Structure 1
């Protein structure tokens, strides 16, 4: 099986990148599925290094309105997701949500006609039901702050439910890794490798 690991952080030596790399290693090292002799493959999508443009342009709007075709870079991103059995997104928390780069990737790539189809007002056709999504967020606040203000719950509502479940994708994992966690940061790296080994452990 094949996984696409998306990372959105401008610093290649960041903890975010290190965690994404460990997840990828774990996926690649995990045993084949029962009855198969094929291992698992991983593609890394480093949005910053690749120079992905997060700006939603008039061309994107035309594609949304179906008065134009999707830009070539978006077609390529959608093809990467289409090739994947699992989508893993690793990102730092900026202002209690995605970084702008990652939000722009979602805005531009998860388009009407590909990720979902509006049928009537308030109703849509979910088109990514085959996709399994794993979200790993890295933050600096402590658990008490996240719980007291309900930040993580708000993130799950707007990201897990508002984006992926709206498109029919199954959010299998939604992890929050914080600097206040015991054993930071080594424990996060160890957890990431173990997490990668579980991505394809129990498929539907």
Structure 2
């Protein structure tokens, strides 16, 4: 099974990149698995939603080449893993812009005037790995857990029919030893396809 791991941090030596690398190692620890890491910052993906993207949204033109390439990446994957630092209680603008442009009308879903929404990504399994600087009490006190599920799990992926299988929030990233966080990331990678394999076994 194949995983696409997406990260959006400008510093290649950041904890976000180390977490993504450990998820990738975990994925590869099981025979037959493969992975691809999409480093949006290093690849200089343009997150700006322009007039060209609006034309795509209105289904008046096919997506531009950079968007089509990202959609093809996702189409090749059995699982999509987003690894990102929490910026202002959300994901970085680069990753959000990637979602804005890539999860487009006509590919992620079909919707138009007078037509019923058709969700097109039922096959996709999503795993979220958010890296927070604050402690668990801070996130709980401000209601971030519920806000994240509303904004990302439901607002983005459920709208397209994709299923968020796991949603991890790693705490105290700026103050504590990163080793336990890296261990958690590796475990996430190892277990990434367990649910999918159970589904296949039950269907057989």
Whether TM exceeds 0.5 here: the answer is yes
Of residues 123-132 and 81-90 in structure 1, the stretch that sits farther from structure 2 once superposed is: 123-132
Alignment of 1:192-203 (within 5 A): 192-203=185-196
For 1:112-127, list aligned pairs within 5 A: 112-118=105-111, 123-127=116-120
Structure 2 equivalent of residue 79 of structure 1: 72
Q: Is it true that 1:108 corresponds to 2:101 in the alignment?
A: yes
Offset, 1:180:
6.7
- Specify the alignment match of 2:169 in structure 1: 176
The TM-score, its normalising length taken from structure 2, stands at 0.92
Aligned residues: 197
Gaps of 5+ in 2: 200-204
How much does 1:185 deviate? 1.2
Displacement after TM superposition at 1:187 (Å): 0.3
- Post-superposition Cα deviations, 1:137-196, rounded to whole Å, max 9, x if no partner, equal 001111111111101210111001100011000100000001179964110101111110
Counterparts of residues 1-204 of structure 1 (less than 5 Å) = 1-31=1-31, 39-118=32-111, 123-179=116-172, 184-203=177-196, 204=199
CA deviations 1:26-77 (Å, max 9, x no partner) are 001124xxxxxxx111000000000000000111111111222211000000
Q: How many Å apart are 1:118 and its aligned residue? A: 1.3
CA RMSD of aligned residues (A): 1.7
> What CA distance in whole angstroms lies between the structure 1 residues aligned with 2:95 and 2:175?
28
Contact 1:143 1:180 in 2 (8 A): no
Q: Deviations over 1:83-121 (max 9, x none)?
A: 000000000000101100000000000000100111566
